[in-house]
Structure 1
Amino acid sequence: MAGMKDAHIVEIPVDEEHQQKLICAINTISAIQNYPLAEISNCPGHLLLLKLWQREENLFGRRIALKESRMVSIKREIFHLCCFFLVIQWIFLTILFTSSVDSKEHTCKNWRIPSLVSVCTSLEFVSLVQVKICSYWKVSRQLQREKNNDRALAKCIQELRMKGASFDLSKEPMSGKRMKSSSVEIKWKPFTWCSQYLITICLVSLSCLVFPASKFILCGF
């Protein structure tokens, strides 16, 4: 009893600043516990869905990068074919001009033969360029579809992270076709077609001009 009487109770004074810090710490801990990502980590279904969507988003990014690099390589191939086309036409016209200077009468009678050879060669190059252009726009459409799907998936991932456990697991990302139908785009088809195949139109026009140019070079000078 004597020991109890001699014991003293020490009170530690707590000022307002310490109380505010303590309240802030408690609020922070409760906010972290109620944070959507914390809720997702406690829900196996939501956590699995988040991991699957993140993996799918990574795959979309890889496919988009591959298609973009493919489009760049197709552009390079089209450029090289156009350069070869112009070089061949220049060589052909130079040969015609040289032959017309040497023997004008003989070459003027047979002007159709070199002209047909030039046109056939030009059409082969035009067909190759057209194939490359078609493949380019095909990859471009695939790339646009992949980007639409990637945006839809990213939107769902963001919504899942914001809502947490309240997110509806039955919800699926909107596909690229549905997103395209939801956005109204008005395009004039002839203008779109001409803009897509402008290179082919120019090459065909040059090929057609070579035919009368051959006659003019062989018979006009």
Structure 2
Amino acid sequence: MADMKDAHVVEIPVDEEHKQKLSCAIQHHPLMEISQSPGHLLLLKLWQREEDLFGRRISLKETRMDSIKREIFQICCFFLTFHGFFFTILFTSSVGTKEHHTCQKWWIPSLVSVSTSLVLSFLVQVKLYRYWKVWNQLQREKVGNRALTRCIQELRMKGASFDLNKEPRTGKRIKSSSVEIKWKPLTWCSQNLITVCLVCFSGLAFAASKFILCGF
């Protein structure tokens, strides 16, 4: 306490010229200009609100994509589990029975396997379609959010000199039609690779059912 009483406050004198420069700098600051201009202030508030809405929509779409990925994973796990039990039951039922009797009805388990596989593959394809649809929407939201963020930054930097008629513009990449046609099948295969694998596995399971019951 004694040290605090003995402490001295040193005041740095500031002349009127520095005060005027400081006051002038504050008055001409872009944010001060925006606060004094009703139109620019309203535009800034609207864009900030829209930016917040962009962030919420992006978050919701990312959550939706994670949910769809979990659903696809669960269907694939059920697909593999089903075929694991199916081949186990098929193999145990073929052991100890007459080969001619079981071979005559090989198409019944094969039909069950193919039908179940196609249904599960269709469900996966529906989920994939929804996933890529949400992904495209997410990309558009991100592009719009970036364009809006650039406009907000420009407004804060320019202040009252900012053009109120300016709107956020999203840049579009120009692609030639030949490139799109060339890479479109590859893009489709990469986006639906899971479904392609499930369908191929279904065909192998169909042939494997006959092989287990009838042999070569």
TM-score (norm 1): 0.85
Q: How many correspondences in the alignment?
A: 201
Alignment of 1:108 onto 2:100: no
Paired residues of 1:100 and 1:219 also in contact (CA < 8 A): no
1:84 offset after TM fit, Å?
A: 0.1
Aligned to 1:3: none
Aligned amino acid, residue 210 of structure 1: A
Alignment of 1:180 onto 2:175: no
1:79 offset after TM fit, Å?
A: 0.2
Aligned amino acid, residue 144 of structure 1: Q
Mean CA deviation greater in 104-113 or 154-163: 104-113
Aligned to 2:69: 75
Q: Secondary structure at the match of 2:166?
A: coil
1:102 offset after TM fit, Å?
A: 2.6
1:69 offset after TM fit, Å?
A: 0.3
In terms of Rg, which structure is larger?
A: 1
Alignment of 1:156 onto 2:128: no
Q: 2:164 aligns with which of 169, 181, 189?
A: 169
Alignment of 1:85 onto 2:79: yes
> What do the CA deviations read for 1:87-135 (whole angstroms, capped 9, x no partner)?
0011111111011103132111110111011000000000000000000
Aligned to 2:130: 135
1:183 offset after TM fit, Å?
A: 8.2
Aligned to 1:9: none
TM-score (norm 2): 0.87
Q: CA RMSD in A?
A: 2.0
Aligned amino acid, residue 203 of structure 2: C
Paired residues of 1:133 and 1:197 also in contact (CA < 8 A): yes
Structure 1 unmatched runs, 5+: 1-16
Structure 2 unmatched runs, 5+: 1-11
Aligned amino acid, residue 55 of structure 1: R
Aligned to 1:38: 32
Aligned amino acid, residue 31 of structure 1: A
From the superposition, tell whether residues 189 and 114 of structure 1 become closer, same or farther in structure 2 (CA, over 3 Å): same
Aligned to 2:51: 57
Identical-pair percentage: 65
1:25 offset after TM fit, Å?
A: 4.0
Distance in 1, Cα, partners of 2:44 & 2:195: 47
Distance in 2, Cα, partners of 1:25 & 1:204: 78
1:147 offset after TM fit, Å?
A: 0.5
Q: Secondary structure at the match of 1:180?
A: coil
Q: Secondary structure at the match of 1:170?
A: coil
Distance in 2, Cα, partners of 1:46 & 1:182: 33
Alignment of 1:97 onto 2:91: yes
